[in-house]
Amino acid sequence: MAPHLSVPRRVRIAAGVAIISFAAVLAAIEAMALRGQVDFSRQVLHLNGYWLAIPPIALEGGTLAAATLTLWAVLAGDSAALSRLMTAICIAAAAYANYRGAQHAGRPTLAAEYLAGASVLAYLMWHTILTRIRHAELRTADAIEDPLPRFRLLRWLLAFNETRQAFTIAVRENLTRPRDALSRIREIPALPPARQTPPTDEPDTVDHLVALAAERGGKRLAIEKAAQIISSHEPTRVQQWLSKRGIDIDLSYVSRTLKDQPQAINGNGQHS
């Protein structure tokens, strides 16, 4: 039984296979592009002999030079906008030459588009390689954010609120692992339920005030109790509060009673 390959060796083999495959594909694309440009030289420019190679060399050489400048700028961390534009212009010219050459050679429109698309495909592949290199350089320099965590669709369906909160925290704190984002959510303690003050209009309280007001000298106690319940010493408010509960007391009597009663002092050192 053959021994298992180590991980680095497998990676090197995979990289080598990928490079060879890419080189083969790129060579096939360039061969098709050269065929169209030779037709362009012969049919459109009416060149013969060695002159047939001049337009392909000019177009492909210009594209290669612009692509090399782009790669140089990307590896150096400089702006590659101008060199990318030059590469795109050269590729566009090559695609046009392929298309026109195929048309003048009597090939069908589909064949002309196929040859023109070969040049565009070569540029897209080169652009993808440069983008990956650029991202790798930026990530090495810690100048690019880490990728966001990926949550399974089933989690979004079954635990939408928790997943949404975890994703929000991952965006804010630049977290990549879903487990870390979920841990942050579960570490946040739940807020305690708000304390509910007992209602002041319970039937036993109202009945007690009514009975208290009916007794001799009980109106004064009812006024003091009402002022304590509504936390106010304004005679009008106290009188209206008692009146709504069926306890009718003259406003002047309420005013005298509250005036004689010392007001409570709140936390700010002021009378309430």
pLDDT, tens digit, for every residue of 228-239?
888 777 778 887
pLDDT, tens digit, for every residue of 67-76?
888 888 877 7
Q: What mean pLDDT is predicted for residues 161-178?
A: 87
- CA-closest candidate to residue 168, choices 182, 157, 147, 152: 182
> What is the structure's pLDDT at 263?
52
> What is the structure's pLDDT at 137?
72
Q: Supply the pTM of this predicted model.
A: 0.45
Phi and psi at residue 265, to the nearest 5°: -105, 125
> What is the structure's pLDDT at 266?
40
Measured N-to-C along each axis, helices 218-230 and 251-260 cross at an angle, to the nearest 10 degrees, of: 70
pLDDT, tens digit, for every residue of 102-146?
788 777 777 777 767 777 777 777 777 777 777 777 777 766 777
Q: How many CA atoms lie within 13 A of 223 on its CB side?
A: 24
> What is the structure's pLDDT at 247?
78
Q: Pinpoint the alpha helices (H) of the chain.
A: 7-39, 54-76, 81-104, 109-140, 153-158, 160-173, 178-187, 203-214, 218-230, 235-244, 251-260
User: Any idea of the CA torsion for 59, 60, 64, 70, to the nearest 10 degrees?
Assistant: 50
> What is the structure's pLDDT at 217?
64
Q: Grade residue 8 by pLDDT with cuts at 50, 70 and 90.
A: low
- In this predicted structure, the answer to whether residue 147 has a pLDDT above a threshold of 70 is yes
> What is the structure's pLDDT at 157?
92
- CA-closest candidate to residue 167, choices 181, 187, 153: 181
- Rounded to whole angstroms, how far apart are CA atoms 252 and 254? 5
Q: Grade residue 79 by pLDDT with cuts at 50, 70 and 90.
A: confident
Q: Beta-carbon neighbour count of residue 213 at 10 Å?
A: 21
Q: Beta-carbon neighbour count of residue 64 at 10 Å?
A: 15
Q: Beta-carbon neighbour count of residue 105 at 10 Å?
A: 18
> What is the structure's pLDDT at 181?
86
- CA-closest candidate to residue 33, choices 99, 129, 109: 99
Q: What mean pLDDT is predicted for residues 48-56?
A: 84
33 vs 268 pLDDT, higher one? 33
For residue 271, list its beta bridge partners. Answer: 265
Structure token pair of residue 254:
């309420």
